Amino acid sequence: MEQYDICVIGAGPSGYAAAMRAIDFGRKVILIERGKVGGAAIYDGALTSKTTWELAMRVAGINEMLQSQNRKLFSMDWEDVQQTVRESIFDRKQQFSAHLKLLKEETSTVRFRHARGSAYLLTDHEVLITSKKGEEVIHAEHIIIATGSRPRKLPNIEVDEKIIMTSDGIHHMDHYPKSLVILGAGVIGCEYATIFSNFGKTKVYLIDRADRILPFEDEDIAKMVSDNLEKKGVTIHSTAKLERMEIVDGEVEYEISNTDGTTEVIRVEKALLSVGRIPNSENLGLENAGVTVDQRGYITDHNTQTKIPNIYAVGDVSGHIALVNMGEIEARHAVEQIVGYDHIDESVSYDNICTIMFLDPEVAAVGMNEQNCIEKGIPVKVVKLDFSCIARAIAMRKTQGFFKIIVTDDDQMRILGMRAIGEHASSAIQAIGLLIKMNQPIEVLADLVHPHPSIIEGIQECVRMLLNKSIFKSAVMKDAMQCYRRNALEVEHLQEL
The residue with greater pLDDT, 14 or 469, is 14
Degrees to nearest 5, angle at CA 451 with 220 and 481: 30
Confirm if 409 and 381 have CB atoms less than 8 A apart: yes
Taking each helix axis as running N to C, give the angle between helix 219-231 and helix 187-199, from 0 to 180 degrees, rounded to the nearest 10.
Answer: 30
Please report the domains of the chain, with CATH numbers, ordered by start residue. Answer: 2-42+85-151+278-339 (3.50.50.60), 164-275 (3.50.50.60), 361-494 (3.30.390.30)
389 contacts: CB under 8 Å, gap ≥ 6:
458, 461, 472, 477, 480, 481
Confirm if 323 and 355 have CB atoms less than 8 A apart: yes
361 contacts: CB under 8 Å, gap ≥ 6:
224, 225, 228, 398, 400, 401, 421, 422, 423, 425
Is the model's pLDDT at 61 over the cut of 50?
yes
Is the model's pLDDT at 496 over the cut of 60?
no
Q: Is 452 a catalytic residue?
A: yes
- pLDDT for position 472: 86
- pLDDT for position 497: 40
| 41: DSSP letter | G
* DSSP secondary structure string for all residues of 393-422: HHHHT----EEEEEEESSSS--EEEEEEES
Q: What is the mean pLDDT of residues 132-160?
A: 96
| 454: DSSP letter | -
Is the model's pLDDT at 432 over the cut of 70?
yes
Q: What is the mean pLDDT of residues 404-411?
A: 93
pLDDT band (50, 70, 90) for residue 488: low
Ranking 164-178, 238-252, 283-297, 473-487 by mean pLDDT, the lowest is 473-487
The helix, strand and coil proportions of the chain, stated in percent and rounded to the nearest 5, come to 35, 25, 40
**Residue 465, Cβ neighbours under 10 Å: how many?**
26
Degrees to nearest 5, angle at CA 178 with 175 and 182: 95
Degrees to nearest 5, angle at CA 458 with 457 and 460: 65
Q: Please state, in angstroms and rounded to a whole number, the distance separating the CA atoms of residues 385 and 355.
A: 20
The residue with greater pLDDT, 497 or 488, is 488
- pLDDT for position 63: 94
Confirm if 18 and 146 have CB atoms less than 8 A apart: yes
SS3 325: helix
- pLDDT for position 350: 81
Q: What is the mean pLDDT of residues 377-404?
A: 95
